Amino acid sequence: MSEPKNLSIDGKRLWDSLMDMAKIGATEKGGCCRLALTDLDKRSRDLFVRWCEDAGCTTRVDKMGNIFARRAGRNNDLAPVITGSHLDTQPTGGRFDGVYGVLAGLEVVRSLNDLGLETERPIEVAVWTNEEGSRFAPAMVASGVFGGVFDLEYGLSRADADGKTMGEELARIGYAGEDEVGKRDVHAYFETHIEQGPILEAEDKPIGIVTDAQGQRWYELTLTGVESHAGPTPMARRKDALLGAARVVELVNRTGLDNAPVACATVGMLNVHPNSRNVIPGQIFLTIDFRHPDDEVLAKMDATMRAGVEKICADIGLELELEQIFYYAPIHFDDACIDAVRKGAEECGYPMRDIVSGAGHDACYMANVAPTSMIFIPCVDGISHNEVEDAKPEWITAGGEVLLRAVLDKAGHAV
């Protein structure tokens, strides 16, 4: 199918929409804090829905709060091409993680309207609930329900630190939709996202052709020792849970380093109880995040960690509770979708390279139910999940131009 004439997006409009959206939950250091299903998340959702309806879309919401803004095609009985990402952020998040993929999808719709282009298939722009897994663990819960990985009851019952569930919070902010989650045909899914790492910028490549995503394992651990007085308790008699946690942190880091250069291993959360300066800590809650593109290595890291933690707890006399709360195997995306992205980048003449995603994305679960791939653009200094997260306008535009072409490749269009 030949490319329509004058195909292009409006990069300034996309950038301006990103900056307008970034005002919702703006932080002093220039980032965004819009935790899933908070009032700020609601405000960002409401703004997105308004913009989509202004662009002639109809919007629907499913029982996990996923939003789908549909631009009709010539034949609306055909399965749609969907593109999107997430609006929720980390507590110290940036202006681009997730929201760029949502608004790049909206920009495709706006540009097709400007071009007067009718597609064969309908196009939908998706907002996935709770991609980050920060307020509600695990990550990518709602796309996971859509992708058939989690059941609806599991998704709605995920609770935050205050015991509020996703189901309750969806109802509170008015996004507890009626539609079944998933269980419908999707012709193709594309997600545009910042790389969140240093490779594309270092190689001066504005486009990453995402071929794969590494696998992940998330764990929650509780180490229980004995709280006691920091003064009279002899060192030899202590069951110091924080000492145990310190050794676990070292073990996790060592496990990552021992599987270099691509393994990633992180202790992101650590809560000390009772967290009083003159009490020997009696209980620690901590989390572990393992990632690797090879499932066998990920399994080896799992085994090394479990054996090591058992020994640490035995040596100090701590009780251990260890639960793996999240796992998905490394993913290879759909070759035809990868080719559509590559062709789009070639048509635009952008320097590009194949890349494996270090981060998880809703696309990782969409790959279960639809031909899926991703488009990466660089981010400044490779930094993300940080308020200083930044991207250059020319990168933002490049990703949108490639997305427009990839979506058209799959949605079909009259010349």
- Determine the longest span between alpha carbons in the chain, in angstroms: 83
Tokens in use for 260?
């270099």
98 binds, among ligand HGY, Mn ion, none (CB under 5 to 8 A by kind): Mn ion
Query: CB 210: neighbour CB atoms within 10 A?
Result: 27
Q: Crossing angle for the helix pair 295-316 and 241-257, nearest 10 degrees?
A: 150
**Tokens read off for 371:** 């031909």
Q: In angstroms, give the least distance from the CB of 391 to Mn ion.
A: 13
Q: For Mn ion, which residue of 88, 97, 107, 289 counts as binding (CB under 5 A)?
A: 97
Q: Is 362 in the site for Mn ion (CB under 5 A)?
A: no
Minimum CB separation of residue 310 from ligand HGY in Å reads 26
Q: Report the partner that residue 144 touches, choosing among Mn ion, ligand HGY, none (CB closer than 5 to 8 A by kind).
A: none
CB closest to Mn ion, residue no: 98
What minimum distance in Å lies between the beta carbon of 91 and ligand HGY?
12
Strand-pair category, 372-377 with 207-213: antiparallel
Q: Which of 25, 94, 98, 399 binds Mn ion (CB under 5 A)?
A: 98
Is 7:108 a contact under the CB 8 Å cutoff? no
From the list Mn ion, ligand HGY, none, pick the one residue 387 interacts with, judged by a Cβ distance below 5 to 8 Å according to partner type: none
Q: Provide Rg for the chain, Cα atoms.
A: 23
Picked from Mn ion, ligand HGY, none, the partner binding residue 139 (CB below 5 to 8 A depending on kind) is: ligand HGY
What's the closest the beta carbon of residue 134 comes to Mn ion, in angstroms?
8
Binding site for ligand HGY (CB under 6 A): 131-133, 139, 359-360
Tell how far CA 348 is from the center of its chain: 27
Q: Which is nearer to ligand HGY, 312 or 364 (CB)?
A: 364
- Taking the complex as a whole, the smallest distance from the CB of residue 358 to ligand HGY amounts, in Å, to 7
Q: Report DSSP letters for 382-393, one per residue.
A: G--SSTT----H
Quote the least distance from Cβ 360 to ligand HGY, whole Å.
4
DSSP state at residue 93: B
Contact 150, 369 (CB under 8 A): no
Site of interaction with Mn ion (CB under 5 A)? 97-98
